Amino acid sequence: MKLFSASQIREIDQATIENEPISSIDLVERAASTCSDWIIEAYDHSVSFHVFCGMGNNGADGLAIARHLALAGYSVQVFAIAHRSSGTSNFTRNIERLAEVKLDVHYVNAKKEMPEVDETAVAIDAILGIGLDKPLRGILKDVVQAIQEGYDHVISIDVPTGLPSDLDSTIKLSECVEATHTLTFQFPKLSFMVAGLGEYTGDVHVMDIGLDEEKIHDIDTPYHLTTGYDVVGIRQDRKAFSHKGDYGHALIAAGHKGMLGAAVLATKACLRSGAGLVTTHIPSMGCDVLQISAPEAMVQLDHSETSITSIPIPKRITAVGIGPGLGREKSSFNALTALLEDVQVPLLIDADALHLMSITDSWSKLPANSVLTPHAGEFHTMTGVEFGDSISRLEAARRWAKDHHCIVLLKGAYSAICDSSGNVYFNGSGHPAMAAGGSGDVLSGLITGLLAQGIAPLKAAILGAWLHGRAGEEVAIDRGEHAVVASDLIDYLS
């Protein structure tokens, strides 16, 4: 799914108006009807709605939603925030339509004019949409503070008021509605994808309002959100007349004294990826541990009892993954350096291997199209930069992928997969239950297995991240979000 900037969304809106054709006021009505249907499905008549509207087109959406809810028999009060001298034509026309159904509008000029709130009240935030380009101030800031202080449940329309829709680190948040639900039109907004901003949306629900599909197709954007629909077809069905050799042979180099579990997790995930064969290179002390934990894998033992000192690449290996639990000893760095010189197949680098390359500035040796899987702390080590916000970190990851001709999978909620062309693919699956030690080791093994099967590095990273996140969603349902451990994810990979 493409993700667009605010200016691009306005282009798509205008194309819809011109090409369908449909009037602007009727497009507002369509959006309001879609949102109202969702609200009516989600809330019974025991609640009352306080609808807060700005005087622009987002406010027009709110006025129309208020009318639909009132006609559906809900208790509705409407509050227009007097933050400008006059409203848009869509706002004005919807004020008139409210009068036709005898629904009063209360204008709010000061915080003291906000309504009293009881436990049945749900706020609908339709104050500002995608047009925000500066921090809130004055009456807007006061109203948002009052909503935050007074309401347990808030539904934001398109974008929570105060939240910029674009990835613009120059816009500093002052006050922002923290929504319970955000009903966003046609596509999630870019700001929903990053830490520090995405927390304000609550549960995001995409409302299909029938925007112009041809225009959506024609507009270029570097930003995408991966959905289940997008990953269909990346991995082909198995042929009836096939054997293990048709599905690749992965080499995992992982583990160190005290961290052999990382090697086990990566190996088992690699096996579960569908790779035909998996060999794991580990310190010799890990032989029994790995053969008992993952009997399907072959084991290649290092000469060292406790660490990895050299990594011979067996014949017919089709991908290599290195890093989980590797340790940070000089001998392990030497083994990594030798591997970088010898490897002729797709390569994934994670965890301690990223650290070793960073502290020795070995990035010039990185093979093209390698997949790097840092979390935020590891990316800080890679770049030597302390990022003040997630947007700056994301832009740095884009530059890093371009400069080093590689794939950077920056892990987190909506993990960002950056390619060497400057594109970013946010992962649309996942669950907070996955925030547990070893989860990244599972991801590394999974992607290595996909690479071994001949899937191109970018597609392997996209598919691996999505399958990993989807497994997290499923296991959280079965185990509960507080009880999930990384090994649980492996049995849910499918």
User: Residues 233-289: pLDDT tens digits?
Assistant: 999 899 999 999 999 999 999 999 999 999 999 999 999 999 999 999 999 999 999
**CA terminus-to-terminus distance, the chain:** 22
Q: Is position 441 annotated in a ligand binding site? A: yes
Q: Is position 208 annotated in a ligand binding site? A: no
322 CA to centre of own chain: 25
Per-residue pLDDT, 337: 96
Tokens coding 333: 């760095």
Q: Is position 414 annotated in a ligand binding site? A: yes
- Tens-digit pLDDT profile for residues 355-407: 999 999 999 999 999 999 999 999 999 999 999 899 999 999 999 999 999 99
Identify the band that residue 494 occupies on the pLDDT scale cut at 50, 70 and 90: confident
Q: Is position 58 annotated in a ligand binding site? A: yes
Task: Please state, as a whole number, how many other Cβ atoms lie within 10 Å of the Cβ of residue 408.
Answer: 27
Q: Is position 82 annotated in a ligand binding site? A: no
Identify the band that residue 168 occupies on the pLDDT scale cut at 50, 70 and 90: confident
Q: Is position 413 annotated in a ligand binding site? A: yes
Q: Is position 262 annotated in a ligand binding site? A: yes
- Map tokens 């080590």 to a residue: 381
Q: Is position 224 annotated in a ligand binding site? A: no
Q: Is the confidence at residue 173, as pLDDT, over 90?
A: no
Identify the band that residue 22 occupies on the pLDDT scale cut at 50, 70 and 90: very high
Q: Is position 307 annotated in a ligand binding site? A: no
Identify the band that residue 342 occupies on the pLDDT scale cut at 50, 70 and 90: very high
Q: Is position 164 annotated in a ligand binding site? A: no
Q: Which of 314, 301, 356, 317 is nearest to 333 (CA)?
A: 356
- Map tokens 């997008």 to a residue: 230
Q: Is position 480 annotated in a ligand binding site? A: no
395 CA to centre of own chain: 15
Q: Is position 61 annotated in a ligand binding site? A: yes
The mean of the pLDDT values for the chain is 97
As a whole number of angstroms, the distance between CA 201 and CA 161 comes to 10
Cβ-Cβ contacts under 8 Å for 242 (sequence gap 6 or more): none
Tokens coding 48: 């009352």
**Are 209 and 186 contacting, i.e. CB atoms less than 8 angstroms apart?**
yes
Tokens coding 268: 């088992």
Domain positions in the chain: 6-219, 231-490
Which residues is 252 bridged to in the sheet?
280, 321
Which residues is 233 bridged to in the sheet?
none
Asked if the peptide bond before residue 188 counts as cis, ω within 30 degrees of 0, the response is: no
Confidence (pTM): 0.97
Q: Is the confidence at residue 7, as pLDDT, over 80?
A: yes
Pick the CATH number of 231-490 from 3.40.50.10860, 3.40.1190.20, 3.20.20.80, 2.60.120.10: 3.40.1190.20
Q: Is position 161 annotated in a ligand binding site? A: yes
Write a three-state SS string for 266-315: HHHHHHHCCCCEEEEEECHHHHHHHHHHCCCCEEEECCCCCCCCCCCCCC
Q: Is the confidence at residue 134, as pLDDT, over 90?
A: no
Q: Is position 129 annotated in a ligand binding site? A: yes
Q: Is position 130 annotated in a ligand binding site? A: yes
Q: Is position 60 annotated in a ligand binding site? A: yes
53-91: string of b/e by CB count within 10 Å (b at 16+)?
Answer: bbbbbbbbbbbbbbbbbbeeebebbbbbbbbeeebbebb
Per-residue pLDDT, 231: 97
Q: What does DSSP assign to residue 226?
A: E
Percent of the chain past pLDDT 90, that is, above it, reads 97
Mean pLDDT of 69-91: 97
114-146: string of b/e by CB count within 10 Å (b at 16+)?
Answer: beebeeebbbbbbbbbbebeeebeebbbbbbbb
As a whole number of angstroms, the distance between CA 24 and CA 26 comes to 5
Which residues is 54 bridged to in the sheet?
none
Per-residue pLDDT, 171: 75
Domain 6-219 has CATH 3.40.50.10260: yes
Residue type, 491: D
- Tens-digit pLDDT profile for residues 105-132: 999 999 999 999 999 999 999 999 998 8
Q: Is the confidence at residue 476, as pLDDT, over 90?
A: yes
Q: Is position 220 annotated in a ligand binding site? A: no
Q: Is the confidence at residue 172, as pLDDT, over 80?
A: no
